[in-house]
Amino acid sequence: MLGNEISVSDTLIGGKFTGRDDNSLNITTVAVRNEYLQDLYERFNREKETNQDLLELCQELDYYNSNIDGDLIGLDKKLKDGNREKIIFYAKSAKEKFHKKLMTTSQYSYVAQDINIWLLAKVKRSFMMEIYSLICNEESEEKINLLITERIINPVKLELGINLFKYDEEDIMGMIFFLTGNCHLKWC
Protein backbone atom coordinates (compact mmCIF):
# COMPACT_ATOMS: atom_id res chain seq x y z
CA MET A 1 0.00 0.00 0.00
CA LEU A 2 1.39 3.37 -1.06
CA GLY A 3 -0.13 6.56 0.41
CA ASN A 4 -3.94 6.34 0.15
CA GLU A 5 -4.02 3.38 -2.22
CA ILE A 6 -5.72 0.13 -1.24
CA SER A 7 -5.70 -3.13 -3.13
CA VAL A 8 -8.57 -5.62 -2.86
CA SER A 9 -8.36 -8.98 -4.59
CA ASP A 10 -9.72 -12.51 -4.35
CA THR A 11 -12.75 -11.50 -2.29
CA LEU A 12 -16.50 -11.68 -2.54
CA ILE A 13 -18.18 -8.50 -1.39
CA GLY A 14 -21.93 -8.70 -0.78
CA GLY A 15 -23.20 -5.15 -1.20
CA LYS A 16 -21.29 -1.89 -1.46
CA PHE A 17 -17.58 -1.52 -1.04
CA THR A 18 -16.49 2.02 -0.25
CA GLY A 19 -13.11 3.38 0.62
CA ARG A 20 -14.52 6.06 2.89
CA ASP A 21 -17.89 7.72 3.47
CA ASP A 22 -20.89 6.21 1.74
CA ASN A 23 -23.20 9.10 0.83
CA SER A 24 -25.49 7.09 -1.41
CA LEU A 25 -29.24 7.14 -0.96
CA ASN A 26 -31.24 3.91 -0.87
CA ILE A 27 -34.97 4.14 -1.44
CA THR A 28 -37.36 1.27 -1.01
CA THR A 29 -40.86 1.78 -2.34
CA VAL A 30 -43.72 -0.59 -1.68
CA ALA A 31 -46.18 -0.47 -4.56
CA VAL A 32 -49.79 -0.87 -3.52
CA ARG A 33 -52.86 0.13 -5.50
CA ASN A 34 -55.62 1.69 -3.55
CA GLU A 35 -59.03 0.07 -3.81
CA TYR A 36 -60.72 3.26 -2.59
CA LEU A 37 -59.63 5.12 -5.72
CA GLN A 38 -60.76 2.23 -7.94
CA ASP A 39 -64.19 2.34 -6.27
CA LEU A 40 -64.36 6.11 -6.85
CA TYR A 41 -63.58 5.57 -10.54
CA GLU A 42 -66.45 3.14 -10.87
CA ARG A 43 -68.82 5.51 -9.05
CA PHE A 44 -67.63 8.39 -11.24
CA ASN A 45 -68.43 6.48 -14.42
CA ARG A 46 -71.94 5.68 -13.12
CA GLU A 47 -72.54 9.24 -11.95
CA LYS A 48 -71.26 10.73 -15.21
CA GLU A 49 -73.87 8.73 -17.10
CA THR A 50 -76.77 9.91 -14.92
CA ASN A 51 -75.86 13.50 -13.98
CA GLN A 52 -73.96 15.34 -16.70
CA ASP A 53 -75.05 18.82 -15.58
CA LEU A 54 -73.51 18.86 -12.11
CA LEU A 55 -71.38 22.01 -11.92
CA GLU A 56 -71.17 22.68 -8.18
CA LEU A 57 -67.83 22.43 -6.37
CA CYS A 58 -67.91 20.84 -2.96
CA GLN A 59 -66.46 22.66 0.05
CA GLU A 60 -63.47 20.37 0.48
CA LEU A 61 -62.30 20.88 -3.10
CA ASP A 62 -62.92 24.61 -2.67
CA TYR A 63 -60.53 24.45 0.32
CA TYR A 64 -57.68 23.28 -1.93
CA ASN A 65 -58.67 25.75 -4.63
CA SER A 66 -58.44 28.72 -2.21
CA ASN A 67 -55.55 30.43 -0.48
CA ILE A 68 -55.09 29.70 3.20
CA ASP A 69 -55.43 32.85 5.34
CA GLY A 70 -52.28 34.51 6.62
CA ASP A 71 -49.82 33.27 4.03
CA LEU A 72 -50.34 35.15 0.80
CA ILE A 73 -46.92 34.99 -0.83
CA GLY A 74 -47.12 33.63 -4.34
CA LEU A 75 -45.69 30.59 -6.07
CA ASP A 76 -42.69 32.56 -7.37
CA LYS A 77 -41.63 33.71 -3.90
CA LYS A 78 -42.12 30.28 -2.34
CA LEU A 79 -39.95 28.64 -4.98
CA LYS A 80 -37.30 31.36 -4.60
CA ASP A 81 -37.32 30.76 -0.84
CA GLY A 82 -36.68 27.08 -1.53
CA ASN A 83 -33.83 27.89 -3.97
CA ARG A 84 -35.89 26.66 -6.93
CA GLU A 85 -36.12 29.87 -8.98
CA LYS A 86 -34.82 27.95 -12.02
CA ILE A 87 -38.12 26.08 -12.29
CA ILE A 88 -40.58 28.96 -11.84
CA PHE A 89 -41.60 28.98 -15.52
CA TYR A 90 -42.12 25.20 -15.49
CA ALA A 91 -43.97 25.39 -12.16
CA LYS A 92 -46.42 27.98 -13.46
CA SER A 93 -47.04 25.97 -16.61
CA ALA A 94 -47.54 22.65 -14.76
CA LYS A 95 -49.78 24.34 -12.16
CA GLU A 96 -51.99 25.85 -14.88
CA LYS A 97 -52.17 22.55 -16.81
CA PHE A 98 -53.27 20.69 -13.69
CA HIS A 99 -55.71 23.42 -12.63
CA LYS A 100 -57.49 23.25 -15.99
CA LYS A 101 -57.82 19.46 -15.70
CA LEU A 102 -59.02 19.84 -12.10
CA MET A 103 -61.77 22.24 -13.10
CA THR A 104 -62.76 20.20 -16.17
CA THR A 105 -63.01 16.91 -14.30
CA SER A 106 -64.58 18.30 -11.12
CA GLN A 107 -67.43 20.24 -12.68
CA TYR A 108 -69.32 17.10 -13.66
CA SER A 109 -69.38 15.00 -10.53
CA TYR A 110 -69.10 14.91 -6.76
CA VAL A 111 -67.25 11.63 -7.16
CA ALA A 112 -64.74 13.30 -9.51
CA GLN A 113 -64.29 15.95 -6.86
CA ASP A 114 -63.64 13.21 -4.29
CA ILE A 115 -61.01 11.68 -6.58
CA ASN A 116 -59.25 15.03 -6.94
CA ILE A 117 -59.49 15.77 -3.21
CA TRP A 118 -58.04 12.35 -2.42
CA LEU A 119 -55.13 12.93 -4.83
CA LEU A 120 -54.43 16.46 -3.56
CA ALA A 121 -54.49 15.28 0.06
CA LYS A 122 -52.06 12.45 -0.77
CA VAL A 123 -49.68 14.83 -2.56
CA LYS A 124 -49.88 17.38 0.27
CA ARG A 125 -49.24 14.81 3.00
CA SER A 126 -46.36 13.20 1.13
CA PHE A 127 -44.74 16.56 0.41
CA MET A 128 -45.05 17.79 3.99
CA MET A 129 -43.94 14.53 5.62
CA GLU A 130 -41.17 13.49 3.24
CA ILE A 131 -39.91 16.48 1.23
CA TYR A 132 -40.43 19.72 3.16
CA SER A 133 -37.84 19.11 5.90
CA LEU A 134 -35.24 18.18 3.26
CA ILE A 135 -35.81 21.49 1.50
CA CYS A 136 -35.52 23.38 4.81
CA ASN A 137 -32.31 21.47 5.62
CA GLU A 138 -30.93 22.53 2.22
CA GLU A 139 -30.48 19.02 0.87
CA SER A 140 -29.27 18.82 -2.71
CA GLU A 141 -31.67 19.61 -5.51
CA GLU A 142 -30.93 16.19 -7.04
CA LYS A 143 -31.90 14.38 -3.83
CA ILE A 144 -35.09 16.41 -3.46
CA ASN A 145 -36.04 15.79 -7.11
CA LEU A 146 -35.39 12.07 -6.70
CA LEU A 147 -37.52 11.89 -3.57
CA ILE A 148 -40.35 13.89 -5.17
CA THR A 149 -40.34 11.30 -7.94
CA GLU A 150 -40.06 8.29 -5.61
CA ARG A 151 -42.34 9.45 -2.79
CA ILE A 152 -44.99 11.46 -4.64
CA ILE A 153 -45.06 11.02 -8.42
CA ASN A 154 -44.54 7.26 -8.65
CA PRO A 155 -46.96 6.33 -5.83
CA VAL A 156 -49.66 8.63 -7.21
CA LYS A 157 -49.16 7.25 -10.73
CA LEU A 158 -49.50 3.72 -9.35
CA GLU A 159 -52.66 4.54 -7.43
CA LEU A 160 -54.24 6.28 -10.41
CA GLY A 161 -54.94 2.83 -11.78
CA ILE A 162 -57.02 3.17 -14.94
CA ASN A 163 -56.38 6.93 -14.75
CA LEU A 164 -59.70 8.20 -16.10
CA PHE A 165 -58.56 11.81 -15.87
CA LYS A 166 -55.37 11.02 -17.80
CA TYR A 167 -53.11 12.62 -15.19
CA ASP A 168 -49.45 12.32 -16.16
CA GLU A 169 -46.23 13.05 -14.25
CA GLU A 170 -46.39 16.73 -15.16
CA ASP A 171 -49.95 16.92 -13.80
CA ILE A 172 -48.75 15.43 -10.52
CA MET A 173 -46.00 18.06 -10.37
CA GLY A 174 -48.75 20.55 -11.21
CA MET A 175 -50.59 19.35 -8.10
CA ILE A 176 -47.53 20.22 -6.02
CA PHE A 177 -47.29 23.68 -7.57
CA PHE A 178 -51.07 24.20 -7.37
CA LEU A 179 -50.94 23.44 -3.64
CA THR A 180 -47.87 25.66 -3.27
CA GLY A 181 -49.49 28.56 -5.11
CA ASN A 182 -52.59 28.29 -2.92
CA CYS A 183 -50.48 28.34 0.26
CA HIS A 184 -51.00 24.71 1.21
CA LEU A 185 -47.29 23.88 0.72
CA LYS A 186 -44.12 25.85 1.39
CA TRP A 187 -40.63 25.46 0.04
CA CYS A 188 -39.13 26.84 3.30
Contact between 118 and 36 under an 8 Å Cβ cutoff? The reply is yes
Q: With respect to residue 3, please indicate whether it lies within any of the assigned structural domains.
A: no
Domain-located, residue 92: yes
Checking if the pLDDT of 20 tops 70, the result is no
- Residue 142 within a domain: yes
Q: How many domains does the chain have?
A: 1
Q: Does a structural domain hold residue 21?
A: no
Q: What is the mean pLDDT of residues 42-58?
A: 67
| Inside any domain, residue 168 | yes
**pLDDT tens digit sequence for 122-180:** 999 999 999 999 999 999 999 999 999 999 999 999 999 889 899 999 999 999 999 99
Asked if residue 14 belongs to a domain, the reply is no
On average, the pLDDT of the chain sits at: 83
Q: Flag whether 20 is in a domain.
A: no
Does the residue 95 lie in any domain? yes
The residue range of the domain holding 143 is 35-181
Query: What was the pLDDT predicted at 63?
Result: 74
Q: Which residue has the higher pLDDT, 62 or 184?
A: 184
pTM, rounded to two decimals: 0.71
From the CB of residue 135, how many other CB atoms can be counted at a distance below 10 Å? 19
Which burial class, exposed, middle or buried, applies to 111 when counting CB atoms under 10 A from its CB (0-12, 13-18, 19+)?
Answer: buried
